[in-house]
Amino acid sequence: MAVLNGAHILVTRPAHQADNLSRLILQQGGVAVRLPTLEIAAVDDADKIKRSLAILDTFQWLVFVSANAVTMHNYYLDGGRMPHTPHTRFAAIGAATAQAMVHAGLPVDVLPEQGYNSEALLAMPQMQQVDGQAFLIVRGEGGREELATVLRGRGASVDYLDVYKRIIPAVDCSGVLSLLAQRKLDAVTVTSGEALQNLLLMLGEHYHQRLFAIHLIVVSDRIAQMAADIGCKQIVVAAGPSDAAILEAVTKCLTGE
């Protein structure tokens, strides 16, 4: 059923994560316009990461903050699996992260009942009495500090293991610029603040005002506030970060259904 009636939807997910949302848009009669604004790459300090992976049993908690954090750590394991011991518990920031952990053969001891961010994980009962416990947060370079800050305030010790970095991909933007120039781009989907910032850099200031006038679908209130501060005028917050939730938000704002 062609609910989207040929609408052009910009998909800014990293290239390796864009297939499912693009397929869903196509199934609903839309046109998925792919422009990855983030590329996920392994960090350069492999020796440091391998040393951290070798002493995982010194931590009571390992926290993965994204699916990328799960998949990228395998880059440093020489084809093996991350070791784990009975006294080390594993936490996921959200459902997609938990799914990646299961696929990697890792246990999921704690998963937020609602939400998919640091605040949701911190609200879980297991995260309340953590005085004297050691946490290792597996993440990308330059992630949010909220999780570590609160855990330290509750008496825990927290270390980071940065296993990937986010870079601006070298891609051709001419197709998107043409759609903007012709006012044929109907909606933009963005799943992180950094992806939004990179999009503005990639398109250039000349096209910002046209971009600001288009429906922008984001996945959190935090990103929505950032978008509003930048100048976006038609911001819709999806019910969650899943592709199905993003598609639902796209459909509602373009069709009113």
Specify the pLDDT at position 86.
78
Q: Is the pLDDT of residue 1 over 70?
A: no
Q: How far apart are CA 148 and CA 132, in angstroms?
A: 14
Domain assignments of the chain as residue spans, ordered by start: 8-38+169-255, 41-166
Specify the pLDDT at position 43.
86
Q: Please give the CATH number for the structural domain made up of 41-166.
A: 3.40.50.10090
Average pLDDT, the chain: 91
Q: Please give, one letter per residue, the 3-state secondary structure of the chain.
A: CCCCCCCEEEECCCHHHCHHHHHHHHHCCCEEEECCCCEEEECCCHHHHHHHHHCHHHCCEEEECCHHHHHHHHHHCCCCCCCCCCCCEEEECCHHHHHHHHHCCCCCCECCCCCCCHHHHHCCHHHCCCCCCEEEEEEECCCCCHHHHHHHHCCCEEEEEEEEEEECCCCCCHHHHHHHHCCCCCEEECCCHHHHHHHHHHHCHHHHHHHHCCEEEECCHHHHHHHHHHCCCEEEECCCCCHHHHHHHHHHHHHCC
Q: For the segment 73-131, what is each residue's pLDDT rounded down to a tens digit?
A: 666 665 556 766 778 999 999 888 999 999 888 899 999 988 788 999 999 999 999 99
44 vs 118, more confident: 118
Q: For the segment 133-175, what is each residue's pLDDT rounded down to a tens digit?
A: 999 999 998 878 899 999 999 999 999 999 899 999 999 999 9
Length of the chain: 257
Question: What is the dihedral angle through the alpha carbons of 90, 94, 95, 96, rounded to the nearest 10 degrees?
Answer: -100
Q: Is the pLDDT of residue 18 over 90?
A: yes
Fold match, 8-38+169-255 / 41-166: yes
What is the assigned CATH class of domain 8-38+169-255? Answer: alpha beta
